[in-house]
Amino acid sequence: MSVTIIIGGQWGDEGKGKITDSLAVQADMVVRPNGSANAGHTVQTDAGIFKLHLVPSGILYTDCDCVIGAGVAIDPESLIEELDDLNKRGVNTSRVMISDRATVILPYHPLLDQLEEQSRGEQSIGTTLKGNGPAYADKVGRRGLRIADMTDERTFAERLRLVLAEKNKILTRIYGADPLDESEILEHYASYMERLAPHIGQAEIAVQDAIDAGKRILIEGAQATLLDIDYGSYPYVTSTSPTAAGACQGAGVGPGQVDRTIGVFKAYITRVGSGPFPTEEHDQRGEILRSRGKEFGTTTGRPRRTGWFDGPVARYAARINGLSEVALTKLDILDEFDRIPVCTGYRYGGELISNPLASALQYGEVEPVYEYLDGWRQDTSNAQTMDDLPAAAQRYIERLEELIGRPITYIGIGPSRSQILERGVAV
C-alpha cells in the first residue's frame, strides 16, 4: 500500500501540478480530490506546456490511471473541452475515471458566481467565476445534482425542474437577470453525459481496489491551505477543504491509509484574488517576482499578487495538514536578489504573534517581521544535484525548513519536469 497526498501550503499555484507530474512517473494512479475548473495545474514536458484544470497531472504517463473524485465539482462542458484538447495533442484520456458522486456545475452556477461577486462590490472575493462557490453551496444545501443523477434522464429532469424553479426566481427577482431555459439545459447536458459516459464509475471503489492491490497512488489536491473554507482567510477562500483531510474525503480514503503528505510551497508566495496577504510586496521587487516567476493565473490569466515567504503561514500549514515533508518550488526565481526577506512572525496590537488570525479584518492588519537572508545571484536552474546549489541558496533552504518545521525533500529550479532536485533528508 502506498498513498501520498500532495497539497498546496500557501494561497495556491505553488506548483502542485509539476510536483505531481514528477512523482507520477512512479505512480499507478493519480486522484484529484477537490475543487473544480477553478484550479489550473501546469505541467511542462518535452511535448510542451499542459494546463490542466480537472484532469489529474498523471495523464501524461500512458500507464497511470487518473481519477476525478467525489469531492470535485465538474463542469461537463469544460471537462469535455479539456479531454478533447488533450486528445488533439496525442494524449490518451481513456484512463480518466469520473466519480458518479461528483457534483455537477450547471449553467446557473457561473452566472450566480458572477452576480454574487458584483453585488459584493468592494468586498468581492475575486473568484475565478467558474461557479465553484454556488455549486458547493448547492451540494451542502442538498440541492446539487450528482453525475449519477444526470445519467438517468428522468431523475435529471425531475431534479432539475425543482432546482431551476428556485434558481430562476433568484436570477429574475433578486438580480433582475433573465431566467434559464429548462429544455435547453436538459438537451445540452444529455449530450455531455453521453460523451462522458465511458468515464463514469465508482471512483472511491477504484481507489480502494488500487490500495488493496498494493498500487502506488498520488492524491493531487487543488487550491491550498490558506484558501480552505475552515482554516483559510475566510471569507476570501474557496468553498472546499483543500487540506490533507479534505483530500482524504474527496478521494475516498481514510487518514490511516495515507503514508506521506507532501506540502508544496513556493520559495516566496503569491495570491490571486482578494483578501489578507501579510507579506505582499508592492514595490519593484514584487514586480520582479511576478515577471521572473511568470505569475499570471493559469485559469484566469490575472496577475498574481506577489510577496515573501511567510513562515507563520508555512508552519501553520505544516501542522494543520500533518505534513510529513515539503516540496519547495521556484527557488530559481530568487536567483537575482541580493537580500531576500523571509517573514518569521507577525506583529499585531503591539504583540508578536506566530499564526494566521481567524478574522480577515485583523489578519489584514498584521505586520510581518522580517529576517533578511543573503541572496546568491547565480543561476540555479541548471543544478543537477543539491551540491550544485550555491551555499547561500542551501542556507536559504535550511532556514525555510526550520521555519516550516518539516524536511524539504524536493526543490524546484525551473518549470520543466526535469528541473527538480531530490534532497536526501530522511523522512
Q: Which of 7, 13, 70, 251 binds Mg ion (CB under 5 A)?
A: 13
Q: Which of residues 270-289 bind ligand IMO (CB under 6 A)?
A: 272-273
Catalytic site includes residue 13? yes
Binding of residue 9 to Mg ion (CB under 5 A):
no
Binding of residue 19 to ligand IMO (CB under 6 A):
no
Least distance from ligand GDP to the Cβ atom of residue 179, Å:
35
Pair 43, 293: CB distance under 8 Å: no
Partner from Mg ion, ligand GDP, ligand IMO, none contacting 112, C-beta within 5 to 8 A by type:
none
Write the burial class of residue 173 (CB in 10 Å: 0-12 exposed, 13-18 middle, 19+ buried). exposed
Binding of residue 200 to ligand IMO (CB under 6 A):
no
Residue number with CB closer to ligand IMO (123 or 378): 123
SS3 222: coil
The residue count of the chain comes to: 427
- Give the active site residue among 41, 53, 109, 199: 41
Q: Which residues contact 6 (CB under 8 A, 6 or more apart)?
A: 16, 19, 20, 23, 218, 219, 220, 221, 262, 264, 327
Residues that bind ligand GDP (CB under 6 A): 8, 12-18, 40-42, 44, 294, 298, 329-330, 332-333, 412-415
Residue number with CB closer to Mg ion (298 or 324): 298
- How far, in Å, are 39, 146, 337 from residue 112 at the CA level? 19, 19, 43
Least distance from ligand IMO to the Cβ atom of residue 395, Å:
28
Catalytic site includes residue 41? yes
The three grid cell numbers given for residue 304, joined into one nine-digit string: 498574481
Pair 131, 68: CB distance under 8 Å: no
Binding of residue 135 to ligand IMO (CB under 6 A):
no
Q: Which of 99, 239, 249, 298 binds Mg ion (CB under 5 A)?
A: 298
Distance, in Å, from the CA atom of 53 to the CA atom of 298, rounded to the nearest integer, reads: 9
φ and ψ at residue 351, rounded to 5 degrees: -115, 155
Binding of residue 40 to Mg ion (CB under 5 A):
yes
| Residues near ligand IMO (CB under 6 A) | 8, 12-13, 38-41, 125-128, 130, 132-133, 222-224, 227, 238-239, 272-273, 298
Mind telling me the catalytic residues? Answer: 13, 41
